[in-house]
Amino acid sequence: MSGTIFERKLAQIREQLKRQGLDGLKLGLQKNVSWLLGGRSHVNTASEPACCVLVVTGDHCHVVVNNIEAERLLEEEIGETSAHKLLDVHIWPWQIPAARERILADISGELRNMKSDAEWEHQLIALRSIIDPQQMEQWRDVGRLTAEAIEQAAMEISLGQSEYEIAGHLARHCWERELDPIVNLIAVDERIFTRRHPLPTGLRLSRYAMLVVCARSKGLIASATRLVHFGAIDETLKRKHAAVAEIDARLIDATRSGIAYSELYERITGFYRDAGYPDEVAKHHQGGLTGYATRERTAVPGETMVVAARQAYAWNPSIAGVKSEDTIITTDDRPELITVSAAGHFPQLEVQVDGQIWRRPAILQRAPR
């Protein structure tokens, strides 16, 4: 399909509208607006609704936005300048919200059959999850920068810092790389063994830390986890980490086009069983499809969605006290790890799976001070 990224995505929506006999689609969620426009569509990172509403019809792409956001959105966030000439922009004064509703009513007045993106999620995830070939390098950049941010933070944190302070280090390194740290989870010491989603607390680091980030750039999200230990690492922790790294490597290797998520889940349970930790699979989700949401879809029993080429996945297998997580892109061949730092300073474990070598992050051991 020719044209710009925006034009191709617009054409994909219109093709689906035509197939389903729909006159229009209203997009109001960040993940969809960012996917189509190619830029940030939020003000509040914690809010699912975007800062504008798009209405796509067979002939038009309407942007309904208030006067606070209009210039920023149009001048700074829309990824392709060629997209501007294809947009019908409607600006409403922020203090008159009824004006927004009137504009939307006027646009939809002649549309007999229109859906919202919430109603059309099944179709949109199929479009949103396939990476446009021209965005592959953008994805690789997001992955590399995410790895650099979390690994730099891991190398700089200090004994005695609180989980909040460590989260601050991680956030700073993300912001410096123009990444939004939309998920920033930190656990230290015994808390790593009891919390799978550790929101930061005031607990202070004495020997062992886990850093987790989901970093977003222009809507694209990459995820990674890194572990840091000050002083000697005991053998029990080493064995656990080797086990979770092997589970992760086997799961990454299994993420090939054509395999259903339900089958992947069955394999995951087998990987945990083979590693000697059969009960741990039930204690946390294993990750899954990522993209414009931290997890678009997870692998669970009965899930019929199938892996396709040019999709992003972030698996996060965990055993109490350890976790392994990076972001990959599926290809026509083996999956490609993208959360890999160009510096290459972080220690790695090599895991062999059916003759293939997968490098997984080791626990970074630092000298106690």
Residues 95 and 11 in one domain: yes
The angle formed by the CA atoms of residues 277, 283 and 284, to the nearest 5 degrees, is 110
Q: What is the pLDDT of residues 252-280, one digit of tens each?
A: 999 999 999 999 999 999 999 999 999 99
Residues 192 and 300 in one domain: yes
Residues 100 and 179 in one domain: no
Residues 305 and 166 in one domain: yes
Q: Check residue 63 and give its pLDDT.
A: 97
Residues 341 and 247 in one domain: yes
| Dihedral sign from CA coordinates of 291, 296, 301, 307 | negative
Mean pLDDT of the chain: 96
For residue 284, what are the domain limits? 135-366
Residues 22 and 81 in one domain: yes
Residues 117 and 165 in one domain: no
Residues 227 and 285 in one domain: yes
Q: What is the pLDDT of residues 201-257, one digit of tens each?
A: 999 999 999 999 999 999 999 999 999 999 999 999 999 999 999 999 999 999 999
The reported pTM is 0.96
* 3-state per-residue secondary structure call for the chain: CCCCHHHHHHHHHHHHHHHCCCCEEEEEEHHHHHHHHCCCCCCCCCCCEEEEEEEEECCCEEEEEECCCHHHHHHHHCCCHHHHHHCEEEEECCCCHHHHHHHHHHHHCCCCCEEECCCCHHHHHHHHCCCCHHHHHHHHHHHHHHHHHHHHHHHHCCCCCEHHHHHHHHHHHHHHCCCEEEEEEEEEHHHHHCCCCCCCCCCECCCEEEEEEEEEECCEEEEEEEEEEECCCCHHHHHHHHHHHHHHHHHHHHCCCCCEHHHHHHHHHHHHHHHCCHHHHHHCCCEEEECCCCCCEECCCCCCCECCCCCEEEECCEECCEECEEEEECCCCCCEECCCCCCCCCCEEEEEECCEEEEEECCEEECCC
Q: Check residue 1 and give its pLDDT.
A: 53
What is the band of 339 on the pLDDT scale with cuts at 50, 70, 90?
Answer: very high
Domain count, the chain: 2
Find the mean pLDDT for residues 130-149. Answer: 97
Q: What is the pLDDT of residues 351-364, one digit of tens each?
A: 999 999 999 999 99
Q: What is the pLDDT of residues 32-81, one digit of tens each?
A: 999 999 999 999 998 999 999 999 999 999 999 999 999 999 999 986 66
Find the mean pLDDT for residues 289-317. Answer: 96
Residues 11 and 59 in one domain: yes
Residue 98: which CATH number?
3.40.350.10
Residues 192 and 177 in one domain: yes
Q: Check residue 110 and give its pLDDT.
A: 79
The pair of three-digit structure tokens given for residue 13, joined into one six-digit string: 């929506």
* Neighbour order of strands in the sheet with 114-116: 88-92, 61-66, 49-57, 24-29, 114-116
What is the band of 155 on the pLDDT scale with cuts at 50, 70, 90?
Answer: very high
Residues 175 and 228 in one domain: yes
End-of-domain residue from the set 128, 160, 186: 128
End-of-domain residue from the set 128, 157, 181: 128
Residue 82 has pLDDT above 80, yes or no: no
Nearest-angstrom CA–CA distance, 318 and 347: 19
Residue 146: which CATH number?
3.90.230.10
Where residue 276 falls (left for φ over 0; alpha for ψ -120 to 50; beta otherwise) is: left
Residues 198 and 56 in one domain: no
End-of-domain residue from the set 128, 163, 183: 128
Q: Check residue 301 and give its pLDDT.
A: 95
Q: What is the pLDDT of residues 109-126, one digit of tens each?
A: 878 899 999 999 999 999
* 294 backbone dihedrals φ, ψ, rounded to 5°: -55, -40
